[in-house]
Amino acid sequence: MKRTLALIMALIMVVALAACKKPEPDNKPDDQQPSNELAGTYDIKVWCGEDIVELTKQQIAKFNEENKDAGIVINADVQGVSESTAANDMITDIEAGADIFCFPQDQFARLVQAGALSELGAGASEFVKTNNAEDSVAAATAGEKIYAYPLTADNGYFMYYDKSVIPETDIDSLEALIKDCEDNGRYFAMETNTSAWYIAAFFFATGCKSEWVTNDDGEFESVNDTFDSPEGLIAAKGLKKLQDSPAHISSSAADEFGKSAAVLVSGTWAYNNVLSILGENMGVADLPSFEVDGQQYHLGSFSGYKLMGVKPCSDAKRAAVLNKLAQYLTGETCQNERFAAVSWGPSNKAAQGSDAVKANPALVALNQQAAYATIQGQIHGSWWDIAKVIGDDVKDATDEAGLQAALTNYHNKMNELFNMTDDQKNAWSVIGTCNSVDGFFYTDYTDETRSNWAEDIPMQEVSDGIWRTVQAWAMEAGCEFKCRKGGSWDEAIPADNFKVEEAGTYYVELDVNAGTITLVPAE
C-alpha cells in the first residue's frame, strides 16, 4: 500500500496526522491541538496481548471519560491477539486488520514495507521522542521517520539462578557457574542451539557487530557484520565452553528449574514462573563473563521492545483520533498500569523512574545487563536461521579450525543472502519439524538440531499463486511447519504452525492468494 493519500489541510494542526505521505508536517505538539474538532463516535478494532485485554478495555473507557467534553467517543472491539500473530495478520490483509495493534520490534521492518503502519506526523513524533527512552524510539524508526509508539522496554535477557546451588560469589563467572552445575548434577539452560537471539550474546561480548541498514521504506540495503573475525573466533571459543559441558541444555523455559536446572538465561516473561518454582531461592543477575586466553568478556545480549502501531486510513479525522488514543495507551499512566498488572517493563522515561519499577528484581537485572546490550534494530528475517546454525557448527567442531569453519559457513550464507536472484527472493519453501537433513526423506526426530526448523524444502509455482513441493515425503502425525518466502521469516504462512493430523506421504500445496495450505497425498 503506497502512502499517497492526501490529508485535509484543516486537520494538519490536529493530533498526529499519520495516515500517509503528506505536505510538510506541522511542528506543534499534539497535546496542544484542539480536540473538539475531532468530536464524533468511532468504531475501531484493537489487537493486544491476551493478558492485557481487560486492562486495555478499561484504559479506553478512561480515555473516553477524559475526552467526554471534546465529544470523542470510541467504541473499541478489543481482541487478544499475540504480537507476532498480529504482525502476520496485518501483512496478510491490512484492510481487515486492526486499527491499532501491538507487535514486537523484530516485525517492524516488514510492517513498514507492507504499508501496514502510519508514518507519524511531527507532533506525534515529538511525543514519542520526548517521553520514551532513546533506544525504544530507535526501534520505532525507519530511516529518519517514526512509524510506531514504544509500548515496553523489557525484551531482553539476563540470568536466573538457584541460590541453594549457586553461591553469589560465582555469578559473574561462566566457568564457575558451569562447574557448580556439573558438581551438583544440575543444568545450565541457555538457547545456544535453537536461537540466534541468545547465541549473539557471545559475539557481542567480544565486540562483534551485525548492524542492518534500511531505507525509509524499511527495505534492507546492507549489513555491517563482523561475526567472522578474530573477535568472532574468541566468541566461538567461549560458546564452545558452554556447549561442551554435560550440564548444558538449550532452553530458555522457566520450568527447567523444575527439571533440575540451576541456571537459566531468559527474560522478564519468565519471572513469575521462576519465582513460583524457586521461591526465596530465586536469584536474578546480569549475565556472567567468560575467559579466553586470560582475558574476560562479559556476555552481551539483545535489548528489544514492543511497539504499538496505527493502521493507515484515508480519513484524516479518524487518523488523528486513532493516534490520540495510541498516545494515551502508550503514555506514562497506562504503562504504569500494565507494569502493575502484568509486570511489563515501561519504555516511558517517567514510568521507568517509579519506585515500583526500580524495585522489580527482573527489571533491575535487565537494567544492569543493559550496559552490555545491543539494541535490536531492524534485522533481516533470514538472519535468525543463518546465525542459529553457528550453535550447531560450534558444538560439532573438534578444534580451532572447526570453529573457524563455523564462522566461514556463516559468512558465506550472509553473502548468499545479498546475492539472491529475484526468483530466489520470490520462491516459497517449507520449513518445520517435518524436515530432514537429506531433504525429502523424512526419518525421525532424533537429530533435533537439524530436523527442527533447520532446512528449507523447495517448492515450485504450478499455477498463478499456487506453489507445491517438488516431491512428496513421509510425515508423521503431529509434525508442524510453515511455508515462507525467500528463505526468510518476513513473509510466512500460516500465522500459527500448520499441523499434520494424519501420518502419510504428502506434497505440500500453498495458495498464496488465499493464504491456505493443503496436504496432497502422493499417488
Residue 121 lies in a domain: yes
Q: What is the pLDDT of residue 218?
A: 65
Give pLDDT, residue 163.
Answer: 98
Residue 330 and residue 278 share a domain: no
CB distance 273 to 282 below 8 Å: no
In a domain, residue 4? The reply is no
Domain enclosing residue 445, as ranges? 420-521
Residue 190 makes CB contacts below 8 A (sequence gap 6+) with 198, 242, 248, 250, 251, 252, 263, 264, 265
Residue 436, domain member (yes or no) = yes
Categorize the per-residue pLDDT at 455 as very low, low, confident or very high, splitting at 50, 70 and 90: confident
Q: Where does 195-278 have alpha helices with state H?
A: 196-205, 230-244, 271-278
**Range with lowest mean pLDDT among 169-173, 297-301, 460-464, 492-496:** 492-496
Mean pLDDT for 269-286 is: 95
Which of 417, 449, 468 is the C-terminal boundary of a domain? 417
Query: Is 384 found in the same domain as 298?
Result: yes
> Quick one: pLDDT at residue 4?
36
Q: Is the same domain home to 263 and 293?
A: yes
Partners of 289 in beta bridges: 173, 298
Flag whether pLDDT at 5 surpasses 70: no
Q: Predicted confidence band at 269 (pLDDT cuts at 50, 70, 90)? A: confident
| pLDDT > 70? residue 442 | no
> Would you say residue 508 lies in a domain?
yes
Distance of CA 261 to the CA centre of its chain: 26
How confident is the model over 463-479, as a mean pLDDT? 89
Query: Does residue 497 share a domain with residue 507?
Result: yes
**Is 1 domain-assigned?**
no
Q: Parallel, antiparallel, or unpaired: how do β-strands 373-375 and 301-310 relate?
A: parallel
pLDDT in tens, 148-197: 999 999 989 999 999 999 999 999 999 999 999 999 999 999 999 889 99
pLDDT at 121: 94
Does one domain contain both 46 and 148?
Answer: yes
In a domain, 507, yes or no: yes
Q: What percent of the chain has pLDDT over 70?
A: 89
With a pLDDT cut of 90, the percent of the chain lying above it is: 65
What CATH number is associated with residue 489?
2.60.40.3620
Q: Which residue has the cell 512509524?
A: 147
Same domain? For 258 and 329 the reply is no
121 lies in the same domain as 143:
yes
Residue 118 has pLDDT above 80, yes or no: yes
Residues 263 and 335 in one domain: no
Is there a single domain that holds both residue 272 and residue 403? yes
DSSP assignment of 264-299:
EEE-GGGHHHHHHHHGGGEEEE---EEEETTEEEE-
What pLDDT sits at residue 438? Answer: 43
In a domain, 367, yes or no: no
**62: DSSP letter:** H
> What pLDDT, on the 0 to 100 scale, is given for residue 439?
40
Torsion, Cα 189 290 377 333, to 10 degrees, reads 70
Question: Based on the domain organization, do 125 and 54 belong to the same domain?
Answer: yes
Q: What pLDDT score does 17 carry?
A: 37
- Domain total for the chain? 3
Mean pLDDT throughout 270-287?
96
Q: Quick one: pLDDT at residue 110?
A: 81
CATH number at residue 30: 3.40.190.10
Are residues 18 and 134 both part of a single domain? yes
474 vs 319, higher pLDDT? 319
Residue 105's pLDDT is 87
* Domain end residue (candidates: 367, 387, 417): 417
Whether residue 363 is contained in a domain is answered as: no
Mean pLDDT lowest among 82-86, 303-307, 332-336, 454-458:
454-458
414-430 pLDDT per residue, tens: 888 877 788 888 899 99
Pair (349, 383) in one structural domain: no
- Picking from 417, 449, 472, the residue at the C-terminal end of a domain is 417
